[in-house]
Chain A
Amino acid sequence: MEPMTRLTSTTLVLPEENIDTDQIIPARYLTTTASSGFADAAFRDWRFDANDQPIGDCVLNEPDAPNRKILVAGANFGCGSSREHAPWALRDFGFRVVVSSRIADIFSGNARNCGVLPVVVSEEDNAWLLANPGAEVTVDVEQGTIEFNDRKVAFELDEFSRYRFMNGQDVLGYILAQGEAIDAYEQRVENP
């Protein structure tokens, strides 16, 4: 994954609450064995009608939407299925950060694993961000802060994820390096 230390972008706002992973990528796009190339499938049924014509008033169809790297959404973003295709689709569309007052567990983990940073802010801060689409926002991974409207607030980011985002490192290498501990565990449990 691509490293990320500090990122400034204007936001794209989807104010709906409970945006589930079926909205982010409909199931018919899951019959693939690839892990990239999902930009067209992202929010497909919000962006295109039944005849594959773009839906005029959808903010995701605005010409500069793919340049907005920060998505701000209503509460409980990413609920529903565990399909990692959802954060893959957001990533391929152009987002690097998702901000909401609540983000679903499995989605959060999946997003981190593919280089999309979930940022949880308070309801008040999210309300401001939702009310100000296109606001300029800076996310500082090193400090664990998000800056907007002349404010700077901290968000929760564990040490391990911070390190991974800043260095663009995946998790598998880390677990593989614990091979001896895994061997010892199996030995202890399986041949007591």
Chain B
Amino acid sequence: MKLITLKVDNQPVQVEAGTTILEAAKKVGVEIPTLCYMEKINAIGACRICVVEIKGTKVLQPACVTPVAPDMEVYTSTTAVRKARNLTLELILSNHPFECLTCIRNQNCELQSLAETFGIREVRFPGENPPYKADYSSPSVVREPEKCILCRRCAAVCDKVQTVNAIALQERGFNTTVAPAHHRPLAESVCINCGQCTLVCPTAALHENDEIERVWAALNDPKKHVIVQTAPATRVSLGEEFGMTSGSIVTGQMVSALKMLGFDKVFDTDFTADLTIIEEGNELLHRVKTGGTLPMVTSCSPGWIKFIEHFYPDLLPNLSTCKSPQQMFGALAKTYYAEKMGLDPADIFVVSYMPCTAKKYEARRPEMQSSGYPDIDVVLTTREVGRMLRQAGINFTALPARDYDDPLGISTGAGVIFGATGGVMEAALRTAYELVTGQELSSLDFNDVRGLQGVKEAAVEVGSLTVKVAVAHGLGNARSLMEAVKSGSADYHFIEIMCCPGGCIGGGGQPIPTNLEIRADRIKAIYMADELMVMRKSHLNPAVQQLYKEFLGEPLGHKSHELLHTHYQARDKFLIPAT
């Protein structure tokens, strides 16, 4: 690699050829502000907040897209630069609603903090706001186009990472906006509710559908028995809402905090993750033995489910019929648990704490009511739970650790790793190997399926069969895997797909920011949490065994079929046709 020497603010620095000025400046300790830029995903030089002066050039250059050159002299804070940045900010603010105090991104907004940093005290050119109303049609994601600064980060993620393209730049001039085709409501587009756009939006123009008031109301209703389940990925991210470093494992504090909020029981989705392994594992063995549709593909990620329904309806028979762990939990809470506790399921209110916006949509699918009631009443994301705990004045970081309640709170390390890409596959392999061979695994770690590589493959000897598996996370990667399946060039038995990059630890409901480094930290924490567990294999979970004995009978049995399995529907690839 060719090295280039240059000076940034008079400090010499050496970087590889092709490096941007933005990166070079970081090396000397200067953070140049950015808005539209996202490494590898959105380098379009559109907002110009990152401009710098380069000796010998007349025009200021955007640092995010300008590569370094030998002997370049860059100045990042000259009067000209500061004036240009202030002007850019003022122009953005000229048609931005001044609603910070009532805004969902108050105190976590990139535009707000830039205005603060640059000391904008007045807006000299007040203008009209963008002419579009808020869109509350989606159960997962709210659009407030008035707050859009047209950085296009959302559209870039939806296109390049997820390949969904639900939203794109529409119209021109003052009417420019980011929206679904024909300005249709998000709920009538191909949006798969992943919320990845809400993670990258610098403002509140795209955000989660906040439902905490419904949970407060239930908690304050003496007639309701209010229980909560926590998804695997939440225990490695909630700490960030309280300023803890990324990758902090906060399982015990999280349980304490939820109990303090007033939940009658705090349970763990990891329990139904273990159950999923038993049901899905048996389904796979059944398909292999009877010549059923292979490869079988996992079904726990609701963003992925809607994606395959829109874009690969021909492959729906490949999906496992298992409901997601969230939905299995709800169905059991209102049947098995209700019976056990002598409660009327009508009085049980199930809250689901997920890292995910798509789970909000999943909970509302009409088929998710097999108990006779909605399996899940409200889904909260990490950002919403953070908000609730702050409203309750709970000093999260100082809390003592507490344990989950019985019996839906008993789980194994195999359940925890569902939170990271490759985790479902690894959990399934641990169980399949031991159940089929009757032998104990010498090492529980299947390293081939771990980590942030887009598509991972492994071949594992399970008795006389070499089981071929593949894992993908992020829908762009899922798409390439599905193309291979479609063309017949993939001979896998089992495929795990997670909609979000990194798996659920990188879900669209996680703390902002969620970026590559933070994802990696959370993944590390997930595997650490697994190692800290006494039990690490789903089939050894005693509460799951008891559930089969007392209630379900056998895997894939009649009751399982009724409560734990589901079906899918083909959807239009373009727009939901106008009515």
Decide whether A and B are members of one complex.
no
Interface residues of A (CB under 8 A from B): none
